[in-house]
A and B are shown apart, each in its own frame.
Chain A
Amino acid sequence: MDAAMTTIVTRPATATAQTTTSRTRRRRGRGIARMSVRRALFAIPLTAAVSLALFALAAGSPFDPLAGYLGDRYLTMSTADKQRVATELGLDAPWWQQWASWIGHAVTGDLGSSRSYAQPVTTVLAERGPWTLLLSGTALAAAIVLALVAGMWAGLHPQSRLDRAIAATATVVQAVPPFVLSLGAVTVFAVSLRWLPVAGLTDPGADPSFGQVTRHLVLPAAVLTVSLLPWLLLSLRQSVRAAAQSDAVVGARARGIPEPVVVGRHLLPVALGPFTTVIGLRLPELLVGAAIVEEVFSWPGLAGSLVTAARELDFPLLAALTIGTTWLVLAGSLLADLAHALLDPRVADDA
């Protein structure tokens, strides 16, 4: 009954309800579809440009790819032999030639062999990718849920004691580096209290069963969640506050609309827009922040591989991971804009 009254009040009375809604929906649907197609097409020239820039930048890098390949023998190997090894590995070809060769193979699906892991690149991605996704996905989901709950509450009750406490804690936690959080969590929960295992994907020697992985996932996911939470929480709190003070919400409250309806239909769709944008922008940062957590917890994921590949200039793996991160950025911003468009009735596409 209340919902029906609401729709009658807010819609213009010049057209019938059915046709306006369906025309609006069709227009919005076409706008969203156009945006998605445009973004997907944009990915192709962007991939080429990013990979080209990667090879060009790597050519100017002070790191020597041979240093990673030879390890300690880098110092004892004769210059002549190092030159021969470089030729054999294809490292002394000019960077644009290396790029052309890589992209020629990549479009046929051959991603090459990783020099630092002595495995095909596809094997490295397949063995490590799922674990990074599991860790980062769990942490991001938990951070989003917690940020929604706490951020909304804090935004709707400004200047309350809990709001001030939440804001202060979030600011402090944001300043603590992930490395400190990780080692601290291990010392408290794993070594002193013995509630959780110290590190690793499973107990040594055990298979990665559901129970094993879940138990080992708790601490690294918790640490990653805590490091992601502050920014999401504070940004949602801010946008909820701003939306609560907007004319539409003040007017709706003045009209006597019940609070849950105000929050659900007038406030949230507007406040979540900036929130989803922030999430979309933070997606690739999941990979980097996860690198420190993955190293401390010996989590066999891709984030550490990105650091290794960059330091050892392992071109096939580095290119694959960089392109993957680029697509992640594109997908993240597309999903954020899609969510924004679906949530906020004022927005049809990113125009």
Chain B
Amino acid sequence: MAVAVLATVAAATACATVPAAPPVPADGLVLADGFDLGGYNPIAGHGEAGESKLYDGLLRLVGGDGMPTFEPALAAEMPTVSDDGLHWEVTIRDGVRFTDGTTVDAEDIAATYRAILDPASASPLATSLNMIESVTATGSHAVRFDLRYSYAALPTKLLIGIVPAERLSGGLASESVLNTAPVGTGPYTLVSLRPDQAVFEANADYWDGAPQVEHLTVVHVPDDNARAQRLVAGEVDGANLPPRLAATFTDRPGFEVASNTSADWRGVSLPAGNPVTADPAIRAALNRAVDRQSIVDHVLAGYGRPASTPLPEVYGAAYEPTAAFDFDPAAAEQILDAAGWIRSADGVREKAGVRAEFTVMYFPEDTLRRDLAQAFATDADRIGVRVSVQPVDRASLPDRLPVDAGLLGGGDLPYDPDPQIYSTLHSSYAQPGVGSPYDNASGYVNPVVDAALDAARRTTDPDERAAHYRSVQSAYVADPGYVMLVFLDHTYVFRDTDYAGSTPILEPHSHGASWGPWWNLREWTRP
């Protein structure tokens, strides 16, 4: 009966002559995003890597395959740094206006950074800017950054969007009116914001030339399957989808599947406080027992790359190709036998009364981490190490990290090797109370690695830094502190359109309608 009701209602509606909605203008694009709309305030963390279409930062990324480089955006030229590395100076481009008509000057830059550093704004970006001591306007179009310690990777912090100083009221960032009424210098402006869709229009006065794609509509669709269905039905032109769901579109005519690499790693921490995971033989054996390629093929549907260290190949000269573990379970068994880990009656190895068992924790709602933990446990079991996987919620996981292994991730801001690996491998982060509990969760202490990481921070010469990072990787592989598993790719599906000009980009952890093929929408051209 219910089906009859449904069918009747549907038939009645189909027969009714409801006028068709006006089609989206031909010079527009409709995207479906799983993330919430709104919150367009850079102080609250919007557009941290410069991906926001509403704002510009001092610098911006240049896309393409491989590691992105930086180019000046609101800055007139690349910043200069003093010899001791503690003072950076930037000049501001002339004649740029915000969408409310006011001109951009040094005071706006300084006010934006001060608001992020101000405790009263409760900005989520405060930790990532903790090397900045103060920001001062040294002229109407010049800004100086004074740092607490030498930090060669400062350009990664100059991507954040700049807001007008007059719009900063000094209160909590989440209560600012900028969240729903953004004012920036970016290539697009926000025309309307509803809970289910946001409409953007090209900024005709954009300093770098008005974009050719004039309308952008972003629809909020939180459910993955619903996004896929709307793509198939033709209601949206593109969406980000999880790898397995995106893979179902590869053979559909009229659709393309694109993937962007990221430096987002997933791996298992091996805490120093646990006698099993702290054992060097166990660490070396586990790294050789995991079939990383198989994990990429089956868990990630091919959208990923194997990881032996936290630094991926995309870092070019800073990447050490020989610093990798081969899949060699026989060698792993030999290492364990030689170190005195002998198989007992039930297959689990034992040494001096200690059984080779430990727990790997993962966040309960993260199905990817669960699958990776299972794959790791299966591979470990083959060489006689019994790993049990356990879902642990975010409130209790940090307290257990010193003793139990965790399926962790990192690489959320990948545009320089320093933010990529410093807090993961440097021994200063092994101490409790320093940084986040997830930083250096293994409690890894390696003086060679420490020295190289610090030296790479102090110099801005790219060749010197690359050499230091290569030595970090070689030293790490000789004495690993984690079992790094994979780097993730982000997958996107879109309908074929007439536009051209999309370039690939290395993505941070976040991914959605702001990234993917539409990352450089302002540069797209009509045929």
Residue positions of A touching B, CB distance < 8 A: 62-64, 67, 69-82, 84-85, 88-89, 113, 115-119, 123, 127-128, 146, 150, 165-166, 169-170, 173, 183, 185-187, 189-191, 193-206, 208, 211-212, 214-215, 218-219, 222, 225-226, 229, 295-300, 304
- How close is B260's CB to chain A, nearest CB, in angstroms? 17
Q: Would you call A298 and B222 a contact (CB within 8 A)? A: yes
> Knowing A75-B436, A201-B196 touch, does A119 contact B179 (C-beta < 8 A)?
yes
CA distance A67 to B363 in the complex (A): 13
Is B354 part of the binding interface, using a Cβ–Cβ cutoff of 8 Å? Answer: no
Q: Would you call A75 and B438 a contact (CB within 8 A)? A: yes
Please give, as numbers and ranges, the residues of chain B lying within 8 Å of A67 by CB-CB distance: 394
- How close is A275's CB to chain B, nearest CB, in angstroms? 18
Residue of A whose beta carbon sits closest to that of B437: A79
- How close is A146's CB to chain B, nearest CB, in angstroms? 7
Encode contact with A along B363-395: 1 for CB under 8 Å, 0 otherwise: 000000000000000000000000000000111
Q: Would you call B172 and A89 a contact (CB within 8 A)? A: yes
Encode contact with A along B7-32: 1 for CB under 8 Å, 0 otherwise: 00111011000110110110010100
Q: Would you call B194 and A74 a contact (CB within 8 A)? A: no
Q: Would you call A215 and B13 a contact (CB within 8 A)? A: yes
Please give, as numbers and ranges, the residues of chain B lying within 8 Å of A76 by CB-CB distance: 127-128, 410, 412, 423, 436, 438-439
Q: Would you call B395 and A226 a contact (CB within 8 A)? A: no
Q: Give me 9 A-to-B residue pairs in the complex whose CB atoms sit less than 8 angstroms apart, sorted by A's number.
A: A63-B395, A71-B124, A72-B509, A73-B127, A79-B436, A117-B36, A204-B235, A206-B21, A219-B10
Q: Would you call B124 and A295 a contact (CB within 8 A)? A: no
- How close is B475's CB to chain A, nearest CB, in angstroms? 24
Given A113-B172, A169-B1, A169-B2, output 18 extra A-B contacts at Cβ < 8 Å. Answer: A73-B124, A76-B410, A81-B127, A84-B119, A85-B122, A88-B119, A88-B172, A113-B174, A118-B39, A118-B175, A123-B180, A183-B225, A195-B13, A199-B226, A204-B24, A205-B30, A222-B5, A298-B220
CA distance A119 to B412 in the complex (A): 27
Q: Would you call A118 and B233 a contact (CB within 8 A)? A: no
- How close is B476's CB to chain A, nearest CB, in angstroms? 20
Choose among B24, B124, B509 the residue that contacts A69 (Cβ–Cβ < 8 A): B124
Interface residues of B, dominant DSSP: loop
Choose among B124, B395, B434 the residue that contacts A62 (Cβ–Cβ < 8 A): B395
Please give, as numbers and ranges, the residues of chain B lying within 8 Å of A74 by CB-CB distance: 394
Please give, as numbers and ranges, the residues of chain B lying within 8 Å of A63 by CB-CB distance: 395
- Which one of A199, A204, A222, A225 has the highest number of Cβ atoms from chain B below 10 Å of its Cβ? A204
CA distance A88 to B122 in the complex (A): 6
Q: Would you call B433 and A79 a contact (CB within 8 A)? A: yes
CA distance A214 to B9 in the complex (A): 12
> Knowing A67-B394, A198-B230, A205-B199 touch, does A229 contact B2 (C-beta < 8 A)?
yes
Please give, as numbers and ranges, the residues of chain B lying within 8 Å of A212 by CB-CB distance: 21
Please give, as numbers and ranges, the residues of chain A lying within 8 Å of B24 by CB-CB distance: 203-205
Q: Would you call B6 and A69 a contact (CB within 8 A)? A: no
- How close is A334's CB to chain B, nearest CB, in angstroms? 30
- How close is B30's CB to chain A, nearest CB, in angstroms? 4
CA distance A218 to B45 in the complex (A): 38
- The 6 A-B pairs of least Cβ separation, nearest first, read A300-B195, A118-B179, A300-B196, A88-B122, A203-B21, A204-B30
Q: Would you call B226 and A186 a contact (CB within 8 A)? A: yes
Interface of chain B residues 156 through 201 with chain A (CB within 8 A) = 172, 174-176, 179-180, 194-197, 199
Residue of A whose beta carbon sits closest to that of B44: A118
Please give, as numbers and ranges, the residues of chain A lying within 8 Å of B433 by CB-CB distance: 79-80
CA distance A64 to B399 in the complex (A): 14
CA distance A125 to B223 in the complex (A): 22
CA distance A149 to B62 in the complex (A): 66
Q: Would you call B174 and A298 a contact (CB within 8 A)? A: no
Please give, as numbers and ranges, the residues of chain A lying within 8 Å of B236 by CB-CB distance: 204
Instruction: Report the count of interface residues on B (CB-CB < 8 A).
Output: 76
Please give, as numbers and ranges, the residues of chain A lying within 8 Å of B122 by CB-CB distance: 69, 84-85, 88-89
Q: Would you call A198 and B21 a contact (CB within 8 A)? A: no
CA distance A111 to B394 in the complex (A): 29
Q: Would you call B215 and A127 a contact (CB within 8 A)? A: no
Is B120 part of the binding interface, using a Cβ–Cβ cutoff of 8 Å? Answer: yes
Q: Would you call A64 and B219 a contact (CB within 8 A)? A: no
Is B294 part of the binding interface, using a Cβ–Cβ cutoff of 8 Å? Answer: no
CA distance A123 to B443 in the complex (A): 46
Q: Would you call A118 and B180 a contact (CB within 8 A)? A: yes
CA distance A204 to B11 in the complex (A): 24
Is B275 part of the binding interface, using a Cβ–Cβ cutoff of 8 Å? Answer: no
Please give, as numbers and ranges, the residues of chain A lying within 8 Å of B130 by CB-CB distance: 78, 81
CA distance A74 to B509 in the complex (A): 13
Choose among A80, A150, A198 the residue that contacts B1 (Cβ–Cβ < 8 A): A150
Q: Would you call B6 and A127 a contact (CB within 8 A)? A: no
Please give, as numbers and ranges, the residues of chain A lying within 8 Å of B195 by CB-CB distance: 127-128, 300
Q: Would you call A200 and B196 a contact (CB within 8 A)? A: yes
Please give, as numbers and ranges, the residues of chain B lying within 8 Å of A150 by CB-CB distance: 1
Please give, as numbers and ranges, the residues of chain A lying within 8 Å of B196 by CB-CB distance: 200-201, 298-300
Residue of B whose beta carbon sits closest to that of A195: B14
Is B140 part of the binding interface, using a Cβ–Cβ cutoff of 8 Å? Answer: no
- How close is A53's CB to chain B, nearest CB, in angstroms? 21
Q: Would you call B232 and A191 a contact (CB within 8 A)? A: yes
Q: Would you call A198 and B229 a contact (CB within 8 A)? A: yes
CA distance A63 to B365 in the complex (A): 13
Please give, as numbers and ranges, the residues of chain A lying within 8 Å of B99 by CB-CB distance: none
Residue of A whose beta carbon sits closest to that of B435: A78
Please give, as numbers and ranges, the residues of chain B lying within 8 Å of A295 by CB-CB distance: 222-223, 226
Choose among A116, A190, A211, A299 the residue that contacts B233 (Cβ–Cβ < 8 A): A190
Please give, as numbers and ranges, the residues of chain B lying within 8 Å of A72 by CB-CB distance: 412, 509-510
Choose among A64, A79, A194, A218 the residue that contacts B13 (Cβ–Cβ < 8 A): A218
Residue of A whose beta carbon sits closest to that of B510: A72
- How close is B13's CB to chain A, nearest CB, in angstroms? 5
CA distance A265 to B260 in the complex (A): 71
Q: Would you call A203 and B235 a contact (CB within 8 A)? A: yes
Q: Would you call B194 and A300 a contact (CB within 8 A)? A: yes
Q: Would you call A222 and B10 a contact (CB within 8 A)? A: yes
Please give, as numbers and ranges, the residues of chain B lying within 8 Å of A79 by CB-CB distance: 433, 435-437
- How close is A42's CB to chain B, nearest CB, in angstroms? 33
Encode contact with A along B214-254: 1 for CB under 8 Å, 0 otherwise: 01010111110110011011011000000000000000000
CA distance A72 to B19 in the complex (A): 44
